[in-house]
Amino acid sequence: MLDSAFLLPYLMVLYFCFIFYRLIRRVLYRKGRLPIHKHIVIFCLLVYFFNLISVTLFPMPIDADLIKDMKYDSYIPFVSGNNFIPFYFFVDVYHEGLQYYVIRSIGGNLILLLPVGLLFPLLFKKLNNVKRILLTGFFISLFIELAQLSISVYIRSVYRSFDVDDLILNTLGTVIGYWLFFILSMFYKRVTYRFKSNTSINIE
């Protein structure tokens, strides 16, 4: 039987995902019915955010005995286990011969917020702009890093460290996602234009 304390955080995430879905529908489509492709995009975003939160913030240390075991007296808030110098950790690990770890970590951080740049412009026309999507990715990544840091400070242990490299790479990944959106949208427009042109020629 699953522990209710284990399930509770995930149920809360599902609840907030549902609220997010309802909010998008109300804000973006106050009049008329929501197109089916928009439903699909929203569903993909909900699945993505559920997995994003699960990967970056869970499992969360909520058991009192576990938190007590994780604490240590030498923990210094905002210092222990955190990296505030860009790419210092990657350079250090690379020189230790762990190139595979560096490549995997960079790739994972780039991919983490890539769907934000790819999917957000499909729902929000105001975000169809590289500067705005960059800021969106930056603030989402900053929220995750600060949440991880806050949990570590609260339990006085390095639960998940604040890493400025993650912040930089996540933001860059969002921009890469936007570039993919731009390329795919241009390709879609060209295909649609050619199809309409061929259709009109055949009719004539």
Residues of the domain holding 155: 75-204
Given 63, 88, 106, which residue is the final one in a domain? 63
Q: Looking at the structure, tell me whether residues 90 and 181 fall in a common domain.
A: yes
Neighbouring residues of 41: CB distance < 8 A, sequence distance ≥ 6: 119, 122, 123
Q: How many CB atoms lie within 10 A of CB 115?
A: 20
Question: Does any domain span residue 11?
Answer: yes
Residues 6+ apart with CB under 8 A from 198: none
- Alpha carbon 174 to chain centroid distance? 8
Q: Is residue 141 part of a domain?
A: yes
* pLDDT digits 0-9 by tens, 109-162: 999 999 999 999 998 888 999 999 999 999 999 999 999 888 888 777 777 888
pLDDT in tens, 45-65: 888 988 898 888 877 766 666
Total of domains in the chain: 2
Same domain, 85 and 39: no
Q: State whether 114 and 152 are in the same domain.
A: yes
Q: Do 80 and 58 lie in a common domain?
A: no
80 and 59 both lie in a single domain: no
Rg of the chain in Å (alpha carbons): 21
Domain annotation covers residue 168: yes
User: How many whole angstroms separate alpha carbon 9 and alpha carbon 157?
Assistant: 20
Beta bridge partners of 163: 83
